[in-house]
A and B are shown apart, each in its own frame.
Chain A
């Protein structure tokens, strides 16, 4: 049972470089999420996808793009990395039940620790 798989686990970028964080889930979940975690800030939602082909901004979307090409995969792209994007990034998924009052809790990947110098 792989659950939610994120790659890479660690990455160091120079300011201005680009990269894509990959996320895949094998639980047939419809909702997928990208969060960033910074000390004292909890987890902040970057982008959300309710289903294949749909994405929506979260709390802190600036500087990021996402792509949900199929039900399994949800990638996060940094087009021009900045030091402020140094963070730990978590991908998550869940099944969204009727009116949201059912379904599953969030299942998380192990995270990607990104440093931008």
Chain B
């Protein structure tokens, strides 16, 4: 079965520093991919989505992600993090040709003041 993998369970960065969260997927065809964020005790909010076309997609809150087929990656980036970005981030994509969307295990982002 296809998979979505987030290699980093925890990431700590200083406020104002740049951020990159990794997401790897295994899928033969061009996938559609999403990044969601979840603040403690809250629901899931969509940060950005990739369906096709431009491989660099812009999202909310200053986030962007780049789809790289050669590396099977869809990494999330932000040039300068804010304390309010502390949350858990999830990458998601299809498990196969059907529309079963599966999630990575998440990366918890900690921000140092």
Contacts and interface: CB of A to CB of B under 8 A. Distances in A.
A84 interface: no
27 contacts: A31-B99, A40-B9, A40-B106, A41-B105, A42-B105, A43-B90, A43-B92, A43-B103, A44-B103, A45-B100, A48-B99, A48-B100, A50-B98, A50-B99, A56-B98, A58-B100, A90-B43, A94-B101, A97-B51, A100-B94, A101-B32, A101-B52, A103-B51, A105-B34, A106-B36, A106-B101, A108-B43
A96 interface: yes
Contacts of B44: 43, 90, 106, 108
A40 B105 contact: yes
Q: Is the interface of B mostly helix, strand, loop or mixed?
A: loop
A110 interface: yes
Interface residues of A, number: 28
A109 to B, nearest CB: 8
A44 B102 CA distance: 7
Interface of B: 6, 9, 30, 32, 34, 36, 43-44, 46, 49, 51-52, 90, 92, 94-95, 97-106
A52 to B, nearest CB: 15
Contacts of B51: 97, 101-103
A106 B49 CA distance: 10
